[in-house]
Structure 1
């Protein structure tokens, strides 16, 4: 009886994309905070490398039966697996942690809030996805809401932003993640755990040479409690759980709607700042949250609204 209830609960949660993506945004917002907070004790490539190694060790006992079952399918789709593992696991987080070494949290949030628009554009250019009215409205609302929160409703702050090397690195990370989100539709039809484990392995292999170079340069992990807490958090919540939830969200909603919904990350980042840093919550936080909430409602209507126009990579023959 208890097992039956547990199975029903898991099935119910697994079929609720917005619930899964809310937790995804929470864990990824925490990932950025940890990456920034641990910058003095944890080199960026080391954090990325050990994040995935430990996450794989935790995942492998559960994923191994599915890996054995799905191995032939994974091997047959090895080219797409290499691309997805290298982008989503190997490259994105390494670039993110590297950028957070030198950029500010404000700039980082601002740059990451542009992901939904980029995902929509790439989906249209790469796969010829059709642009719908709710997507356009949702993109405009979500970006406006994110900007209001990040700039604290002060447009003059936009003129005062200074972009450094870290900002450019995070821009590259945003592009990488957008490609990963769009290309997830090419993932083979295998169990989520076997897919996750395989991409973790590929990502670790991609990061390893850069980690060795970082060690050779003299940048080592400082043996402090903050270092181990940072690794412990990032290997479990933003790695295992969030990636599993995100991949399921793309499966249920598509890349455009999923990317748009994840623009709640600035909202969650503001709430975390209140809870962790004791920063006051102001009226512009609520205004930004309201606009982002409206964008999510608009995204939920995708498929029930008329198409504005199809976008094609090349003219029809």
Structure 2
């Protein structure tokens, strides 16, 4: 529905004693055809939301490669714990003051923030790092492409109707994922890493669905800082156990580089961009951009890790991308 309405001049708009009617008519026509400020603001917000979702998607694609690259060198729980410590240090200069200023508001909504921290910070990233031990970065990105379909399921549970097109798209994407992890067969024998990634996709979809209910009075930076802090606290006991049982890891270029990437870029930058994108355009439309992730992961993992997607990977990519695009088409039109 267009937000642009035309004004029609009335007799009160024209002064009969005014002899300079040409300039008046021109100014009136120019004003009439201009896009109203609210419509321009909405358009700019939607464009910014898409760009922020794309930024988060590209950065997260690199995180799968970084996670896979340090798999085996850093125990998963320790990698995730230090990821969030680094992320906290990265956002603290910008977020500490809003966090302290809004502490009372955050405390009123502590149950919601804790749930978001559990699914988006503690669980999701731990599952991703665990998956990196036994599956490829390409598979990780492919399976994560199913998370927007799970977002659609949450939308249905929330009362949103799913049309035939969306259901067909979801089934098509699911077929692509099954063929991928089954190495071209529907008689799927899941690798352990694939199962961990399915769990990670579910956790991320839950987090994204929760973001739609984020209290508006909580500042974005304060919310980000709080979830990082709570997530790190949740992981602290598991980190202590891992340290006692598995020992620490050697800090060097091979471990510090990936940890800095996932801590600063994949956590601080990407999570801020994703949260802002959902606030601007909603989870469904942000999810459309997220479908590009398996393509980005495949493009990055081939030169950096030597993982060749092959013909099967390309075919599964086409099925997943086609399916999730079809699944989101109706919702995207309505959202627009």
If the length of structure 2 is used for normalisation, what is the TM-score? Answer: 0.75
- Within the candidate set 214, 217, 225, 1:197 is matched to 225
After superposition, the C-alpha distances for 1:105-135 in whole angstroms (9 at most, x for unaligned) are 454334322212111112221x222325664
- Within the candidate set 302, 307, 310, 2:331 is matched to 302
- For the 8 Å contact 1:113–1:143, the answer to whether it is kept is no
Residue 92 of structure 1 aligns to a residue in which SS?
Answer: helix
RMSD: 3.2
- d(CA) in 2 for partners of 1:96, 1:248: 23
Change in CA separation of 1:279 and 1:207 when aligned onto 2, cut-off 3 Å: closer
- For the 8 Å contact 1:137–1:298, the answer to whether it is kept is yes
- d(CA) in 2 for partners of 1:280, 1:163: 20
- For the 8 Å contact 2:166–2:328, the answer to whether it is kept is yes
After superposition, the C-alpha distances for 1:154-175 in whole angstroms (9 at most, x for unaligned) are x962357532333332222222
- For the 8 Å contact 1:56–1:200, the answer to whether it is kept is yes
- For the 8 Å contact 2:50–2:281, the answer to whether it is kept is no
Counterpart in the other structure of 2:250: 222
Counterpart in the other structure of 1:86: 118
**Alignment of structure 1 residues 173-192 onto 2, 5 Å:** 173-189=200-216, 190-192=218-220
2:35 pairs with 1:35 = no
- d(CA) in 2 for partners of 1:219, 1:105: 25
Q: CA deviation at 1:143?
A: 5.5
Instruction: Tell which deviates more after alignment, 232-241 or 131-140.
Output: 131-140
Q: Specify every segment of 5 or more residues in structure 1 that has no aligned partner in the other structure, as ranges.
A: 1-10, 307-317
Change in CA separation of 1:106 and 1:58 when aligned onto 2, cut-off 3 Å: closer
Alignment length (residue pairs): 291
Residue 40 of structure 1 aligns to a residue in which SS?
Answer: coil
Q: Specify every segment of 5 or more residues in structure 2 that has no aligned partner in the other structure, as ranges.
A: 1-42
Q: CA deviation at 1:136?
A: 4.2
Residue 187 of structure 1 aligns to a residue in which SS?
Answer: coil
- d(CA) in 1 for partners of 2:83, 2:46: 25
- d(CA) in 2 for partners of 1:41, 1:106: 19
If the length of structure 1 is used for normalisation, what is the TM-score? Answer: 0.79
- For the 8 Å contact 1:261–1:296, the answer to whether it is kept is no
- For the 8 Å contact 1:88–1:177, the answer to whether it is kept is yes
Counterpart in the other structure of 1:123: 155
- For the 8 Å contact 1:86–1:203, the answer to whether it is kept is yes
2:199 pairs with 1:166 = no
Q: Which has the larger radius of gyration?
A: 2
Change in CA separation of 1:158 and 1:108 when aligned onto 2, cut-off 3 Å: farther
Q: CA deviation at 1:13?
A: 8.3
Counterpart in the other structure of 1:241: 269
After superposition, the C-alpha distances for 1:6-26 in whole angstroms (9 at most, x for unaligned) are xxxxx9689522221122111
- d(CA) in 2 for partners of 1:242, 1:222: 27
**Alignment of structure 1 residues 64-75 onto 2, 5 Å:** 64-75=96-107
Residue 162 of structure 2 aligns to a residue in which SS?
Answer: strand
- d(CA) in 1 for partners of 2:294, 2:332: 26
Change in CA separation of 1:91 and 1:26 when aligned onto 2, cut-off 3 Å: same
